[in-house]
Amino acid sequence: MNTPQTPDIHSPAGAPFTATRRGFLAGAGAALVVGFTLPHAGRALAAEASFTPNAWLRITPDNRITVVCGSSEMGQGVLTAIPQLMAEELDADWANVRVEQAPANTAFNNPAFGMQATGGSTTVRGHWDVMRNAGATARAMLVAAAAEQWKVPAAECRTEAGQVIHGSKKLSYGALAEAAAKQKPPEKVALKDPKDFKIVGQRKARLDTAGKTNGSAKYGIDVDLPGMLVAVMARAPLPGAKVAKLDDSKAKAVKGVKQVIALPTGVAVLATGYWAAKKGRDALELYWDLGANTGLNSAKVTAMLTEGASTASAVALQTGSADAKGAKTVEATYEVPYLAHACMEPMNCTAWVKPDGVEIWAGTQSQGPVQGILSQVASVDPGKVKVNTMMLGGGFGRRFAPDFVIDATLLSKISGAPVKLIYTREDDMAAGFYRPASVAKFSGGLSADGKATVLNAGVGSPSIMDASGFMKIPENGVDSFAMEGIADHPYNIANQRLAYGRKEPGPTVWFWRSVGHSQNIFFMESFIDEMAAAAGKDPYQFRRALLDKQPRYKQVLEVAAQKAGWGKPLPAGVFRGIAVAQSFGSYVAEVVEVSVNPDGSPKVHRVVAAVDCGMTVNPAIIERQIEGGIVFGLTAALYGKITLKDGRVEQGNFHDYPVLRHHEMPKVEVHIVKSTEKPGGIGEPGTPPIAPAVANALFAATGKRLRSLPFDTEQLKKA
């Protein structure tokens, strides 16, 4: 039996960081901030006479409480959740709380990573103790200042809504700011019992909503600097491609084009504006030598990954007997394609290499690593690299990559001007970083009474760990991203062999929302459903019986089934499917209701999700993230695929890489399971269960198993 513990805080994708000196961690600085009076970086941000007890908090005499957030806001709500954590222990008046985006500085390192970066659904769980301790420390200093002024014991004072109170006497935090700044921070503070929370756990309105609706919020693509040039690149189609022939004369003839610069990753056209740069780029006469990827196509990718799955020898988990057989055998092979991130805001970065340093403006998930990388690109000290973190118009792991900031900085360095590099949608789609394609071969055994007794799986997939440049594949050869969701599945099955077969077809692979769980939960939960069908068991009850030692899995499964009315009649032609998963420390079960249109296309009517993410900060944000994860995963299940022909990606924009439309959106119900466990992540866990839940419902509707994504509607057409 596999009985995984709740995982430790993980990387942008969920696997533990094993940082090396190579790749983009070089020079990034990875000191973990655990003290609350150490970081003096915050003092540089402080107004005169303000109270700045640590890097994350500033209280000014006008009663404004400013929380500085080191994590990137890409829609997941960190600019609200982090202030809620601080404000709770501070006993702040929420109406006076503001938030600022932090500069790149080790003082703002994500405790989960040991560097300033956002990913792996780690912000809240990584900062849960840090921000609470910071708020409690500041509150203790404010109380000490008031007690000293009133000449009373600090223990007799209390705090409430931004005030220190003693009997009938009250002083606001703003009035105490200057005096509190002179207090010595306590070495240890007591944190609140969660039952006493007044701000954490509440549906507070998001602090970034106003800026996003009135246009004052600035994204990377909004940046405009005096003398700035705009760059558009003809990017290398796949890794290893080299320029075989280039004629830039027509590009240089386009009005507004100033320079054409060749980089290792492609050829850039720099102009006075975007359209001139794009026209110039399109006018390039450019021929590529695709090298080893010449002739690469999707059929070859499938063949390579199928071989990897068939010969998988890097064992991630083995229990019981390797030769065990069941009374009945079930076998299935599954496949998923490469997927693009398709962020609504295409990749962009504005860089300005000056004589005394570098300044960039970018929506990045990796400020710390970027600071280290660009110090090398521009040959300056990391402290001379200023990173202005803009709002991110979607991240999903894509903006953890450094490609767009490196190229923008190189272009500024070579051109001598500030440069805004913008990827067109087609550039980003066709030369980007992809969720790995993957093939999984499963075999399972059932006892005579229908219990699962054997589970074998081989997974053929490229390695994200190796592609990342900052993680090392362990000696056992198992890329943990390629196996997460399978190697740590919860089901009580006695005999198992779960193995990885690495294959590298060519395209760059990268972190994608929920990473390995996004494909592996589809594989795992589809196969468990197949075993249930072969056993003649109800798929919900079959799972439930295998979760006797996994109470959190079992609870969300039960809640989702109960709230969805599992087993109760549905309208004619509508059928249910179910799936459950744990990712990033959170447990999610989803039940879907599906029908099939005459043309074979599925219609998802309703999704009922149960989530146990431990202690919660903002239920409204949790609900929105589960909904968003469902949309993301459903889009991939219905439409998502990056295919290859003659060494090039075939997709270019939303016409051939569609996303879920408004009229296709199902009704979504999110039920949060109350928990006293430590917080789990929430940005990604809603994604993994949706594809298998739909696939399982389609089997219930049609009797046909769809084992590859996106769903092949031809198989579902009614005769």
Q: Beta partners for 116?
A: none
Q: Are residues 371 and 274 in the same domain?
A: yes
| Per-residue pLDDT, 47 | 44
Token pair for 606: 């309703």
Output helix, strand, coil percentages for the chain, rounded to the nearest 5. Answer: 35, 25, 45
User: Is 7 a domain residue?
Assistant: no
Q: Are residues 151 and 251 in the same domain?
A: no
Q: What percent of the chain has pLDDT over 90?
A: 92
55-87 per-residue burial string, b: 16 or more CB within 10 A, e: under 16: bbbbbbbebbbbbbbbbbbbbbbbbbbbbbbbb
Residue 637 has pLDDT above 60, yes or no: yes
Residue 321 has pLDDT above 50, yes or no: yes
Q: Which of 422, 443, 470 is the last residue of a domain?
A: 422
Highest mean pLDDT among 27-36, 48-57, 553-562: 553-562
Q: Which domain holds residue 107?
A: 31-214
CA 295 to chain centroid, in Å, comes to: 33
Residue 589 has pLDDT above 90, yes or no: yes
Distance CA 57, CA 671 (A): 33
Whole-angstrom CA distances from 299 to 194, 358, 536, 615, 644 are: 54, 45, 35, 46, 9
| Per-residue pLDDT, 688 | 98
> Where is average pLDDT lowest: 46-55, 133-142, 246-255, 340-349?
46-55
Q: Are residues 109 and 233 in the same domain?
A: no
Residue 638 has pLDDT above 70, yes or no: yes
Q: How many domains does the chain have?
A: 3
User: Is 158 a domain residue?
Assistant: yes
Mean pLDDT, rounded, of the chain: 93
Q: Are residues 505 and 632 in the same domain?
A: yes
Residue 487 neighbours by CB under 8 Å, 6+ apart: 2, 316, 317, 478, 480, 498
| Per-residue pLDDT, 43 | 39
Distance CA 30, CA 382 (A): 12
Q: Read off the CATH number of the domain in which 402 is found.
A: 3.30.365.10
Q: Which of 376, 391, 422 is the last residue of a domain?
A: 422
Average pLDDT rounded to a whole number, residues 218-237: 97
Comparing CA positions, the residue from 154, 150, 171, 173 lying closest to residue 162 is 173
Average pLDDT rounded to a whole number, residues 665-673: 98
| Per-residue pLDDT, 1 | 42
Q: Are residues 81 and 145 in the same domain?
A: yes
Q: Are residues 638 and 588 in the same domain?
A: yes
| Per-residue pLDDT, 385 | 97
Q: Is residue 668 a contact partner of residue 687, using CB atoms and an 8 Å limit?
A: no
Q: Are residues 158 and 250 in the same domain?
A: no
Residue 40 has pLDDT above 50, yes or no: no
User: Is 18 a domain residue?
Assistant: no
User: Is 25 a domain residue?
Assistant: no
Label residue 393 by pLDDT band (50, 70, 90): very high
Residue 37 has pLDDT above 60, yes or no: no
| Per-residue pLDDT, 24 | 35
Average pLDDT rounded to a whole number, residues 451-457: 98
pLDDT tens readout for residues 509-565: 999 999 999 999 999 999 999 999 999 999 999 999 999 999 999 999 999 999 999
> Where is average pLDDT lowest: 40-49, 117-126, 216-225, 641-650?
40-49
Label residue 4 by pLDDT band (50, 70, 90): very low
191-200 per-residue burial string, b: 16 or more CB within 10 A, e: under 16: eeeeeebebb
Average pLDDT rounded to a whole number, residues 442-450: 97
Distance CA 631, CA 686 (A): 9
User: CA angle 212-216-219, nearest 5°?
Assistant: 70
The stretches of 64-122 forming alpha helices (DSSP H) are 78-90
User: Is 650 a domain residue?
Assistant: yes
| Per-residue pLDDT, 694 | 98
User: Is 570 a domain residue?
Assistant: yes
pLDDT tens readout for residues 463-492: 999 999 999 999 999 999 999 999 999 999
**Strands, E assignment, 419-490:** 419-422, 438-446, 452-461
Q: Which of 186, 214, 242 is the last residue of a domain?
A: 214
Q: Under DSSP, is residue 317 helix (H, G, I), strand (E, B) or coil?
A: strand
Q: Are residues 360 and 459 in the same domain?
A: no
| Per-residue pLDDT, 520 | 98
Label residue 431 by pLDDT band (50, 70, 90): confident
Residue 496 has pLDDT above 90, yes or no: yes
Instruction: Answer whether the bond into residue 185 is a cis peptide, omega within 30°.
Output: no
Average pLDDT rounded to a whole number, residues 43-65: 81
User: Is 2 a domain residue?
Assistant: no
Q: Are residues 375 and 470 in the same domain?
A: no
**Strands, E assignment, 491-601:** 495-502, 575-583, 586-596
Distance CA 7, CA 18 (A): 15
pLDDT tens readout for residues 76-94: 999 999 999 999 999 999 9
Q: Are residues 466 and 549 in the same domain?
A: yes
User: Is 5 a domain residue?
Assistant: no
Q: Are residues 57 and 143 in the same domain?
A: yes
Label residue 717 by pLDDT band (50, 70, 90): confident
pLDDT tens readout for residues 399-430: 999 999 999 999 999 999 999 999 999 999 99
Token pair for 627: 């909904």
Label residue 48 by pLDDT band (50, 70, 90): low
Residue 494 has pLDDT above 80, yes or no: yes
| Per-residue pLDDT, 49 | 72
Q: Are residues 562 and 475 in the same domain?
A: yes
> Where is average pLDDT lowest: 46-60, 246-260, 268-282?
46-60
Comparing CA positions, the residue from 71, 31, 269, 61 lying closest to residue 172 is 61
329: number of Cβ within 10 Å? 12
